[in-house]
Amino acid sequence: MASTNQQQRIILITGANKGIGFEVVKKLIEKPSSNSKDIILLGSRDIKRGEDALKQLGSPPNVHLLQLDTSSKQSIATATNEIKQKYGSHLDVIINNAGIVPRDNTIQAARETQATNYYGVKMLNEHLIPLLREQGRVVNVASSIGPMALHCFSKDLQEKYTSETLTKEQLDLLVEEFLAAYESNNVEKIGYRPDLPYLAYGVSKVALIALTRIEARQYSGAQNIFIYSVCPGYCATDLNNKADGARPAALGADSILYVVDTPNHELGNGGFYLDVTTLSVGTTVAGQVDGTAGSTTDSLNTPRGLAVINNGTTLIVADAGNARVLSFNLLQKSTGSVIMTTSGEYPSYVMAYNNSIYVGNPAGSLVQILPSNATIPLSAPYLGSCSLQYFSTPMGIGVDSNGSIYVASQGCHWITRWTGPIPSSVAGISGSPGSTSQQLYFPAGISIDQQYGFLYVADSANHRIQRFDLDGSNIGITVAGGYGPGPAAYQLTNPLDVCVSQKNGAIYIADYGNNRVQRWDINATAGVTVAGDPAGSPGVTPAELNGPFAITLDPINEAFLYVSDFNNNRILQFPLT
């Protein structure tokens, strides 16, 4: 059969009589497909409300009301028969938008939430996916609450929900075990956090994202069906009583339609996409807005590493081209103060921890510590040595909760840990670049997940991000990229830094070669652009980047992302929603 992108599409949206679903229908009407208008099936549990929605839309001839209660097997079966009779047993897109939030903390509310948000989607897909034409797609509307909740589950539960061999039967069992523990007030015993807000809702969305991956594997073969999940963002709808500060539902619809309309080869089948249309405009907080390089303290020249300290009020920048480290007051636009000069040697990455600032000095093969002026190692008589006691081009720096210091020795292709004066290897093989799970190739920035004991490494020449356990097993797992260089959402090109969110476990990546910063959520198969051009083009406007070298998050509440815009000679601050 022909691709659905080349013909009139039949699109079903559940829960479409109001909120985000209604906005999706509205936008589809305003932007018909290139050849002819799509046929849109407006799914509504309540006929009267569905009819009212049609009237609000102006009763367009290509929008048809379909009574559909996704929590009812009988309703789904009736709707399936209607589609078969009226539309030739064909569908092209299924948007599973219907969902609920628990009205209280009772077991009944928890069961209703799973019935609609997880079991209802599973049941509807089982009925309707067989009607999808070739290259049809399913878009499951999830939530960022899912990854955030998953990050707070026990490691055992995380592994179960994200296993590549997880089956629907096993997933059903996980949900039923949760409900049984919820009813007996024993969720903590099996690995859930009882103090999590909206725990039942979070579990339903974790299960939905897991179902997306399972069904993507199931239907990606001969059927050539693509299945995605997407978070539309925190939108003002009836689910939150149109909360103050929530984004308009129309923006949530944009995120959904991005996944509906983007060519399948640009997305990762089974992937989870979050706020994909929300791109920020940055504010220059150090350097010149127009990207001009300079040597005065209000200018920068090819800045590299950066850190934010003093409760988010002070920015530290490795001003590499000027061989110095500067401090800027973020509370007001100011010139920088020189806190360190490196005598013609170019500082690389910086890291702040417990009132100390760590500065990588590649030319000197040292990590320098301020304000004590101590160094790691104590001296470097063998510049460029790949022995355990020395560095060759020290780059990314991290510090764990025990005070151990981690350094990416880029020239030696490994990461070493310094506990006091004692070094040990934690990732990579010294002097042996490669792409196996035990090797690295020019590692750059690193980041530590303090809660779960993970080390993330920007494995730049392998165009991927590797995750290692801090227990020293030295086996890396690719959590982003790894498909060669390129600008697709599932690719990276020469990533130079990575920063893990301590709130939800998402990782932010300075995708240097693609002139963008990508966010990869837990178990995502593709990234979301949060700064720069998603297509990878460089630029100097406040919304563009030209070679992002290093990144860091606001240490207080992660409200801001800071980007070292290397070739634009500036530091940009981006708000995170």
Residue 442 and residue 462: Cα distance in Å, rounded?
8
pLDDT digits (tens, 9 = 90+) for 291-311: 999 999 999 999 999 999 988
Q: Which residue has the tokens 């209607």?
A: 82
How much is the pLDDT for 2?
Answer: 33
Distance of CA 385 to the CA centre of its chain: 37
- As a whole number, mean pLDDT of residues 97-114 equals 94
Half-sphere exposure of 299 (CA within 13 A, CB side): 11
* CA end-to-end distance (rounded Å), the chain: 41
Choose between 268 and 371: higher pLDDT. 371
What does DSSP assign to residue 477?
A: E
Closest CA to 207 of 268, 90, 116: 116
Torsions phi, psi of 498, nearest 5? -145, 145
Choose between 277 and 15: higher pLDDT. 15
pLDDT digits (tens, 9 = 90+) for 222-261: 678 999 999 887 787 777 666 655 678 888 898 899 899 8
pLDDT digits (tens, 9 = 90+) for 128-185: 999 999 899 999 999 878 887 887 899 899 999 999 999 999 999 999 999 999 999 9
Contact criterion met (CB below 8 Å) for 393 and 430: no
How much is the pLDDT for 569?
Answer: 97
pLDDT digits (tens, 9 = 90+) for 314-352: 999 999 999 999 999 998 777 899 999 977 678 899 999
- As a whole number, mean pLDDT of residues 19-27 equals 94
Distance of CA 537 to the CA centre of its chain: 21
What does DSSP assign to residue 100?
A: -
Q: Say if residue 202's pLDDT is above 70.
A: yes
pLDDT band at 279 (very low <50, low <70, confident <90, very high): low
Q: Say if residue 82's pLDDT is above 90.
A: yes
Residue 339 and residue 383: Cα distance in Å, rounded?
25
How many C-beta atoms lie closer than 10 Å to residue 372's C-beta? 9
Residue 222 and residue 439: Cα distance in Å, rounded?
36
pLDDT digits (tens, 9 = 90+) for 30-78: 875 444 578 999 999 999 999 999 999 999 999 999 999 999 999 999 9
- Which residues form the catalytic set? 201
Residue 3 and residue 9: Cα distance in Å, rounded?
10
- For the chain, domains (ranges, CATH) are 4-101+118-152+211-274 (3.40.50.720), 283-575 (2.120.10.30)
How much is the pLDDT for 275?
Answer: 62
Residue 492 and residue 509: Cα distance in Å, rounded?
9
How much is the pLDDT for 3?
Answer: 37
How much is the pLDDT for 525?
Answer: 82
pLDDT band at 15 (very low <50, low <70, confident <90, very high): very high
Contact criterion met (CB below 8 Å) for 428 and 380: no
- Mapped onto helix, strand or coil, the DSSP state of residue 28 is helix
What does DSSP assign to residue 313?
A: T
Residue 68 and residue 571: Cα distance in Å, rounded?
51
